[in-house]
Each structure stands twice: as C-alpha cells, then as structure tokens.
Chains A and B, each alone.
Chain A
C-alpha cells in the first residue's frame, strides 16, 4: 500500500468528465453531465434508481462509448476501451457483483494485477527467473490486498462461496490490485447490514488515505454524507446539484427527487417529512410523478417511489437487472 501514486500538487483533476451524454435509441440515460474528481477526494454520486448513475460509470470506464462528451484522466483523454481505461488507472466495482465466481479469492485479486504485469504466454511456457519473480510479486501484492480488506484467511475459497458482504469487499480488493489512481464504486454497501456498512466506510477512508481518489454511487444517505467531500445528484440523466454534503442534503430539489413528488404537488404526507410509517405512500407516488416526467420517459418513474428514510428497501429494488 506504499507505492501508490500519491497525490500530486498539480491542479489537474484526477477525473474530468465533460458534457457526457449517453443515448440508447430514444432514451437519453445521461445528459450532458460534467463531473470532476480531484486528487484525495471522495465524491458521491446519488440519485434515484434509473437516474443514469451506472450508465455514467460505464461511460467513464469505456464499457459504453458516450454519445457525446469526453472523459479525461489526469489530463489525458481516455480511450473508449475498458481494458485501456483500467490500464490508465481507473478501476471499478459493479453494482451487481461480478466476481469470477469459480476462481478462488486470491485468483480474483491476481486477475486484477493483469495490467500491472506483463508476462505473456511465452514467458509462462519458458518459466525463466523473471516469470517466477513476477508471479511471486503478484502473489505477495495480492495477499497484501486481501489482508487490507480482511479476507486473507479465505484466500483459497471460491469467490462464489463467500458471504455477500465479503464478495463486495473482494470486488474492491480486485479493483485495487490494478493500482488505480481513481476507484469507482457502484453501490458498495448494497445488501450489507449496518455493521458491514460501517466497516466499508472505514475501508473507503483507508483507500483515500492511500492516495486513491474515490467516486462512489450509493443510496444510503447517511453513508454518503459521512463519507464524501462532495456529492453530485443525478436525476433522469441530468446533474441536478453538486456541492458539499450539507448543501446537497438541504437542496429541496434533491429531497423532491427522492420523494418522487413534484414540488407543486402538495401531498400532505410529503410535508410531514419522511416518517417510516408511511407504507402506503409509494403506491400513490408514481401517479403523482407521471405528469412531471419532462421528456416523456416514464423510465425513471417507478423506482422513485421511495423515501430517503426507506433506503433499505430501495437498495433491494435497485439490485435487479440494471447496470453491468
């Protein structure tokens, strides 16, 4: 954890996404989003389900080629190929865990070392001293990372047999193995219990302290506002607000977006602030939201029917079938 690219004092941001737009046919999932992440920062990306957060991540990492806009990493424009993006220094995790299920925990992390090693087929066949040294170094570094996330004792388990929380952590370790300068986390605490969430919080702080900037998507507001230096809120593909946690927290448009009711529609429940007892409300909300759908896409409407207080429930709905 020592030889990380430590924060340079230059003013170039680690990540500079400008005017990123992603259209799927008639649907504009991300619309003209600008976002900067500076060295040493933890930036949060929030927004209701279907807001385009995962799509934005995919645009950053080359899994999607954005329809418009550019993504710069430390000043250079990124090529739209996932493996080249990783090579450049951006690593990510997935909202729906995408581990190599039938590889061991250690092997998963070793795969993460791929871009930082270069032994090809020939050197594997010949097995010269260089190969052995590189393998040993990869093993050592991977074990170090497993210790960092606390999975060193499970190095020989199959990834698929890990508990859910451990799988999320392993994804982080695998991403860290590529020695990134920027780590993108897509809902890292989804499915975790409160205690695991707290551990993850510490983990992300520790990663930041290693000199790695972090951009994190989360629905757990307490988690996000504790963690982040800056938060951006995406609603229906557009960046609604960006600022310090307190600014975003107080912004009524954000509250409205999460409540799923237009500002002018004054349902009495909304005024009473989110109380956990308002179980029947989500039913009513989509109808209230529908006329407000500006570009006629009802896409973002259905999951918006959640309150910030009910982020637990929202997490479970958000895990199905979206994002890569």
Chain B
C-alpha cells in the first residue's frame, strides 16, 4: 500500500540509527512471539484461579487475551519491519500503535500474574510459565525506544468495491465478536483483562490510522455500513445460549437509548438536564399502568403500540410542562431546577400510594407483575426458534429495544443536521447572538427538551415490560445501578457530546463495568469519579470526538477531511460516527 516507511526511515534517520530502529523492531516482534509462546505454558498449579491456566499447550481464560495481545504486537512489529502485505495495517505509522499494543500485552499479562499471586496468596502459586510470560510480555515495551514514525496517510490502493464492502462487513463482524466476548465474560478477572487488551488494542488501531481509513469506507458506503452495524447488533442474541447475558444487553440498549436522547438535550442544545431519568420513569410508569397488571389502578390493557404512544405522549406532556417554566432559565439554574423536578417525580410516585396521596402507583412498592408483551400472538416472554436457533425471551426484547434505539439514532442524526439542529447548536454556543439571528430561543429549546423527553418515554415503555416491575427507586438522580440521571449524563460526556456513537459506547462501558466488576461495589463510584476527572483532564471531548469538539479542544486549524474529499452530505450540524 505504501513505501513510505522505508522512505521516512531513510530520509529522516542516519544509517546508524536506521539499523538500530530495525533492531528494536525485530526485538519487539520477538517479544510478541515470546508472549504468544508463553500462553501455551502453564501459569499456575491449581485451577482455583478461574479460567484454568494450568494446562500446557492450550491457552485458556486470560491466557487467550494475552495471546491476542501478543499476536497483535507481532503483527504490527512485522508491519513496522515492512513485511510485504502487512503495510495496510498502519497507514499513519506503526510506532504509536506498537506502544499501545505493547502496553496492552504487558498490562494484560502482568494483571493476570499479579491477580494469581494475590488471589491465591503469594508468588509461589506461579508456575515458571507465569514468570516466562511476565518477562516475555515486557520485551515489546522496547517499542518506547523506537523513533516516532507518524506520517500522513498516503492514498489507499484502489481496490474493487466488493472488496471494500467486504472489509466493512468484516470490520462489523469483528466488532460484534469483540463486544459479545466482553458481555459474555464470566468472571471479573477475565473482564478486567478484556478491558485492558481491548482498550489498548482499540487505541492502537486509532493511532495506526486504520480506523480513519475504515471510516472513509463507511462514509463512502454509508447505507451498507449502517445496515452492517444493524445486522451485527441484531445478530447478538443469536450468539447466546442463555438469557443471562441477553438481559445485560437489553439493559445496555435501554441505557444507551436514553443516553442518546439526553444527548439531544445536552450535546446539541446545551441544556444541562440533571433530572432526565424522570422521563424514562414517566414512560415506564405509564406503560405499567396501562399494561393490564392487577397492581394497576386502571383496569385497562392497551396493546403495545397504544401503550408506546401513550407513554410517549405523557412524557411529551411532562417535558413541555416542566420545560415551559424552566427553560427561561439559563445554565446552572436550569441544571438545579431539572434536578429538583427529577426528584419531585420520584418522590411523587413514591407517595401516590393511597396513604399519603391518591392510590395510583402503589408508592414505594411500585407496579409489579407487568405482563410480557404479545404481538399478534407472539409472546415476548417465551422462547422462540428462529433460523434453527433457540432465542430466549429477552432476545425478543433485545430486538424490540434495538428498533427503539434505531429510531432514536435516526431522530438524532436527522434533527441534528437540519435547520432546527443548527438552531440548537447556535443556542448552545451563544444564546444572545442566536436570538439576534432570528431564533426563538425559548421555542427551540422547548422542542429539544420535549423531544428528549418523548424519546426517553418510549424507551421507558419497553423498560417496564423488560423489568416487569417499576419502582420509584429505579429513577434516582445518582445510584450504583444505571440508568440514573448522573450516569446518563456521564455516558454522554464520557462517550462524547453531540455524537451518536459516543453515548452508545459510554453507556455500554458504564453499564458493563459495574455489572461485571461487582467486587468493586463501594469503590465503584469513587473509581468512576476519578475516571471522569482524568478523562476531562486529558480528553475533554470524550472518547469519541465530535468533529467539531475535536477542533475545539485540540486546535488543529481546520477540519481534516480525509484525502481532501468532503463527505457529500455537506456540513451538517452533526457528523455522527457510524
């Protein structure tokens, strides 16, 4: 694909250091091989450490992650050595990617070794293989001595479009596999190792420029990429044998959908809403009350489409009722008032129990026994066999929730890149100037607020049926279990404000980490706070940078459009990641 590697090396480095560079790269490759080899050894004597790391010749558990990390190191080291056929791996240079990968391999291996020693009570529990792995995985760290070879990506080689499409499909396939692996991790150690490996590997892919190249392809074949993403997401339940992890996935989808709705309010219109979860609650309670459960104060059973519409409508009304007086306030005041309204919702439904108030919501006991959805005789609560694969009950909800999320994605991207979306961003940027440009600030903000409320309400109607019970405590401002208002906001900020993929990734991480690392419990919020502080310090635009935010925080002068070609969608208010 490019001969730049040799050119840069020859031009920028004298012959002496050139051979030193090659030597270091070879050493890194050797480290990769050694790391791979070490995973075939036994690392510990007993199978008390989960994952069975005792077997020779067969990597298991965390060893698999080390194996993957070592393989990636080897791959990129070979690419750095300019091996034919591997140059496409790193269009913008290998050194930074190698450093990330070396850290990944080192981190995963050392985490495993230390975890064995700590959990089993001492270094004696390590077999020689464990030490070998520890040493081997440290070798690739020599990548930090390599000179930086960052370069501008050269033009990609022309390949037929079927191959390009194949690459997109492959990429989404790998993505599905990686995410599924993460959700399916069975014990906290494996999940931690997974986070280390995956985190550094993804970082490496970005640094090597291969992600940028992929995003050029996904922009080029936009509809195919969207379809591939959808298919990959829809394929998830088909990879599951039990409902256990599908439930996690459903909850992630609910969380992510609501976070995306909040992103309209916060990310686009700049309205800091600290009580957003209340709208999820309004939707959920509405659906619960019209679901036909005996616990409902209303003896009605709406079909699902009607209960979705009712939930959306009631949330919309609440959004307007709460928004109309509060949206005249700016900034901090709005945040405080929305926080207050969020709490009012929770306390009110906690008191409509027939004692402190009229009996509507059963107070703190909530509305239990919400029946499963039934579509034309298709019962969401039961297992069904599709394409020869048995799908559990939650798979139905997963697919339904996926549809809801697609709806929200569509609303976000379409509203964002339109006249109204530009007005939102203008209001966020400078409200006075925006009104002087003819924007009715109040009206436009109310639309954003009400739209956000409606989308959360729709998610709530599904949530009620998934959980089969709604209680006031599900809709708090802050708590250990997402979604709550604080976590929703965190998902938006962590992922990246104003983007589509940002809140999705943020929500996934914020849901998975507490769910998988339950031993953290009390420290979880502490760690979470620290992580947010670090993130805001080093990457204020969030994990996924909005095109605009990236420019905002890291002055690069102008928009870098890939290969000088503008995406033909023109300049929308939102450039969403795929």
**Is there contact, CB below 8 Å, between B571 and A155?**
yes
Taking CB atoms, residues of chain A closer than 8 Å to B566 are: 156
- Judging by beta carbons under 8 Å apart, are A111 and B571 in contact? no
Asked whether any CB of chain B lies closer than 8 Å to the CB of A100, the reply is: yes
Q: Which residue of B lies closest to A110 (CB)?
A: B422
A104 to chain B, nearest CB (A): 5
Does residue B419 face the partner (Cβ distance < 8 Å to A)? yes
**In whole angstroms, how far apart are the Cα atoms of A102 and B552 in the complex?**
7
Pairwise interchain contact A161-B418, C-beta atoms closer than 8 A: no
Q: In the docked arrangement, what's the CA distance between A87 and B443, Å?
A: 15
Q: Select one of A94, A101, A111 contacting B422, CB under 8 A.
A: A111
B355 to chain A, nearest CB (A): 42
Residues of A within 8 A of B429 (CB): 100-103
A236: CB under 8 A from chain B?
no
B553 nearest CB neighbor, chain A only: A102
Chain B residues numbered 361-381 whose CB sits less than 8 Å from any CB in chain A: none
Contact with B along A81-103 (1 / 0, CB 8 A): 11100110001101000111111
B438 touches A86 (CB 8 A): yes
Whether, in the assembled complex, B404 has its beta carbon less than 8 Å from a beta carbon of chain A, the answer is no
Residues of A near B433 (CB, < 8 A) are 94, 98-100
Is A270's beta carbon under 8 Å from chain B?
A: no
Tell me whether chain B's interface is mostly helix, strand or loop, or mixed: helix
- Tell me which residues from 94 to 131 in chain A have a Cβ below 8 Å from any Cβ of chain B: 94, 98-104, 106-107, 110-115, 117, 119-121, 124-125, 127, 131
Which A residues are CB-close (under 8 A) to B422?
103, 107, 110-111, 114
Nearest CB of chain B from residue A162's CB, rounded to whole Å: 10
Q: How far is the CA of A115 from the CA of B438 in the complex (A)?
A: 5
B421 and chain A: residue at smallest CB distance: A124
What residues of A have a CB within 8 angstroms of the CB of B451 in the complex? 121
Chain A residue with the shortest CB-CB distance to B436: A82
Shortest CB distance A252–B (Å):
37
- Smallest Cβ distance from A56 to chain B, in angstroms? 15
Whether A107 lies near B418 (C-beta < 8 A) is no
Q: Tell me if A241 counts as interface (CB < 8 A to partner B).
A: no
B439 & A114 in contact (Cβ 8 Å cutoff): yes
Q: Give the docked Cα–Cα distance between A124 and B551 (Å).
A: 26
Given the contacts A106-B571, A156-B559, A63 and B432 also touching, CB distance less than 8 Å: yes
A125 contacts B411, C-beta separation under 8 Å: yes
Q: A156 touching B438 by the CB < 8 A rule? A: no
Contact between A174 and B548, CB atoms less than 8 A apart: no
In Å, the complex CA distance between A158 and B555 comes to 10
Asked if B356 is an interface residue, CB under 8 A from chain A, the answer is no
Q: Which residue of A lies closest to B558 (CB)?
A: A157
Q: Which residues of A contact B411 (CB under 8 A)?
A: 125
Query: How far is the CB of A123 from the nearest CB of chain B, in Å?
Result: 8
A61 within 8 A of partner (CB)? yes
Knowing A102-B552, A114-B423, A119-B419, the reply to whether A107 touches B439 (Cβ < 8 A) is no
Is B324 an interface residue, CB under 8 A from the partner? no
**Given A107-B571, A156-B558, A161-B551: A86 and B415 within 8 A (CB)?**
no
A119 to B414, CA, bound (A): 12
Asked whether any CB of chain B lies closer than 8 Å to the CB of A55, the reply is: no
The listed residue with most B CB atoms (<10 A of its CB), out of A99, A110, A178, is: A110
Q: Point out the residues of chain B lying under 8 angstroms from A120, CB to CB.
A: 419-420, 447
Residue contact A121 to B552, C-beta cutoff 8 Å: no
Given the complex of chains A and B, what is the CA–CA distance between A125 and B451 in angstroms?
A: 12
> Is A138 engaged at the interface, CB distance under 8 Å to the other chain?
yes
Smallest CB separation, B205 vs chain A (Å): 26
With A82-B435, A101-B429, A111-B437 as contacts: A158 and B551 at CB distance below 8 Å? yes
Tell whether A36 is near chain B: CB-to-CB under 8 Å.
no
Q: Judging by beta carbons under 8 Å apart, are B420 and A156 in contact?
A: no
Residue B425 is within 8 A (CB to CB) of chain A in the complex: yes
Chain B residues within 8 Å of A160, by CB: 552
A135 at the interface (CB under 8 A from B): yes
For window 393-444 of chain B, which residues contact chain A by CB distance below 8 Å? 410-411, 414-415, 418-423, 425-426, 429-430, 432-441
Provided the pairs A82-B435, A82-B436 are in contact, do residues A121 and B447 lie with their beta carbons within 8 angstroms? yes
Contacting pair A114 B437 (CB below 8 A):
yes
The interface centre, meaning the residue of B426, B549, B573 with most chain A CB atoms within 10 A of its CB, is B426
Interface residue? A317 (CB, 8 A): no
Residue A324, interface by CB 8 Å:
yes
A324 to B557, CA, bound (A): 27
Binary contact readout A267-286 vs B (1 if CB under 8 angstroms, 0 otherwise): 00000000000000000000
Distance A324 CA – B430 CA, assembled complex (angstroms): 11
Pair A61/B436 contact, Cβ less than 8 Å: yes
On whether A83 and B420 interact (CB within 8 A), knowing A106-B571, A157-B559, A161-B551, the answer reads: no
CB distance from A215 to the nearest CB of B (A): 15
CA separation between A103 and B546, bound complex, in Å?
12
Known: A104-B571, A106-B571. A124 touches B420 (CB 8 A): yes
Nearest residue (CB) in A for B410 is A125
Which A63-86 residues sit within 8 Å CB-CB of chain B?
A: 63, 81-83, 86
Q: A100-B425, A103-B429, A103-B548 are in contact. Are A86 and B437 (CB under 8 A)?
A: yes
Q: Given the complex, which residues of A lie within 8 Å of B558, measured CB to CB?
A: 154, 156-158, 161
Contact of B573 among A82, A107, A112, A114 (CB under 8 A): A107
B418 and A135 form a contact (CB under 8 A): yes
The complex places the Cα of A131 from the Cα of B418 at a distance, in Å, of 9
Give the CA-CA distance A5 to B414 in the complex, in Å.
33
Contact of B415 among A117, A124, A158, A178 (CB under 8 A): A124
Q: Is A139 an interface residue (CB 8 A)?
A: yes
> Taking CB as reference atom, which chain A residue is nearest B570?
A139
CB-based contact A98/B432 at 8 Å: yes
B165-190 CB contact bits vs A (8 Å, 1 = yes)?
00000000000000000000000000
Binary interface profile of A, 174-214, with partner B (CB < 8 Å = 1, else 0)? 11001000000000000000000000000000000000000
**Cβ B435 vs Cβ A158 within 8 A:** no
Across the interface, which residues of A come within 8 angstroms of B434, CB to CB? Answer: 100, 111
Cβ of B385 < 8 Å from any Cβ of A? no
**B248-267 vs A, Cβ < 8 Å mask (1 yes, 0 no):** 00000000000000000000
Q: Is B3 interfacial (CB 8 A cutoff)? A: no
Please, which residue of chain B has its CB at the minimum distance from the CB of A101? B429
Whether A103 contacts B425 in the complex (CB less than 8 A), given A117-B419, A157-B558, comes out as: yes
Contact B418 A83 (CB under 8 A): no
Residue ID in chain A nearest B546 by CB atoms: A102
Complex interface: chain B residues within 8 A of A61 (CB) = 436
- List of 7 A-B pairs having minimum Cβ-Cβ separation, nearest first: A115-B438, A124-B418, A86-B438, A98-B433, A100-B429, A82-B435, A111-B426
Known: A135-B418, A138-B419. 16 other contacts (CB 8 A): A63-B436, A91-B437, A94-B436, A98-B430, A102-B429, A104-B548, A107-B571, A110-B419, A114-B423, A114-B438, A117-B419, A124-B414, A139-B570, A156-B561, A158-B559, A174-B437
> 12 A-B Cβ contacts within 8 A?
A81-B435, A103-B548, A104-B559, A107-B422, A111-B437, A120-B420, A121-B418, A121-B451, A124-B419, A125-B411, A134-B419, A138-B419
